[in-house]
A and B are shown apart, each in its own frame.
Chain A
Amino acid sequence: DTGVSQNPRHKITKRGQNVTFRCDPISEHNRLYWYRQTLGQGPEFLTYFQNEAQLEKSRLLSDRFSAERPKGSFSTLEIQRTEQGDSAMYLCASSLGQDNEKLFFGSGTQLSVL
């Protein structure tokens, strides 16, 4: 068990650029989640996958955001045409796939949009 891995740890980009983050969940975990966290706030749900199927997206998620989990293993989160308001910590979590169970979080990717 190597834990949930996220890359990069930090990303600085200019407004209008596209960025992509990667998450490698714990290998036997079926579910994978993306959350966003800003300073002084708790994690905010963005989307989640059951294997390769994206089952839910937050209504707060702009069309500029897209996530994939093509083989049911790692996942990518892409933000197109970044805005300063996108600056946040992007957290990935995984779980075995049982309801009401605990999440295992990665250390996050800190995005700064200049």
Chain B
Amino acid sequence: GNSVTQMEGPVTLSEEAFLTINCTYTATGYPSLFWYVQYPGEGLQLLLKATKADDKGSNKGFEATYRKETTSFHLEKGSVQVSDSAVYFCALNTNAGKSTFGDGTTLTVKP
């Protein structure tokens, strides 16, 4: 079956630090890959996506590249802000929107 493994958290960084959150996956077929973000008190919302190998998704300074050879989709940001504090979920989708999610990584950015 499909599965997503995220690096364990929580992650605590100082403002302007570099962020990497690792995500690897196992899937049958050719999945699309997603990063969702959940800010405190809010629902999950899409941060970025990539639909095929070597695609790079980007949004709000975050980036992730679909690496088929390493089955990975690591999330990166060059300079985090306090407002980036949230829970980040890696997810994959192979069929009709039935997405499989990782367990989430909590990011706290301190000023």
Contacts and interface: CB of A to CB of B under 8 A. Distances in A.
A8 interface: no
A42 B103 contact: yes
A25 interface: no
Interface string A53-70: 001100000000000000
Contacts of B111: none
Interface string B58-98: 00000000000000000000000000000001010111111
Most chain A Cβ neighbours within 10 Å, of B41, B42, B96, B100? B96
Interface in A75-104: 91, 93, 95, 99-104
Nearest to B98: A45
A42 B89 contact: yes
B24 interface: no
Interface residues on A, range: 20 to 34
Contacts of A50: 96
A74 interface: no
A102 B49 contact: yes
A31 B41 CA distance: 25
Nearest to A89: B43
Contacts of B97: 31, 33, 48, 95, 99-101, 103
B98 A4 contact: no
Interface of B: 4, 31-32, 34, 36, 41-46, 49, 51, 89, 91, 93-104
Given A42-B89, A43-B44, A101-B93, 14 more contacts: A31-B96, A33-B97, A33-B98, A41-B104, A42-B4, A42-B104, A100-B31, A100-B93, A100-B94, A101-B97, A102-B34, A103-B36, A105-B43, A105-B44
13 contacts: A4-B43, A41-B103, A42-B91, A42-B103, A44-B101, A48-B97, A56-B96, A99-B95, A99-B96, A100-B31, A101-B93, A103-B46, A103-B99
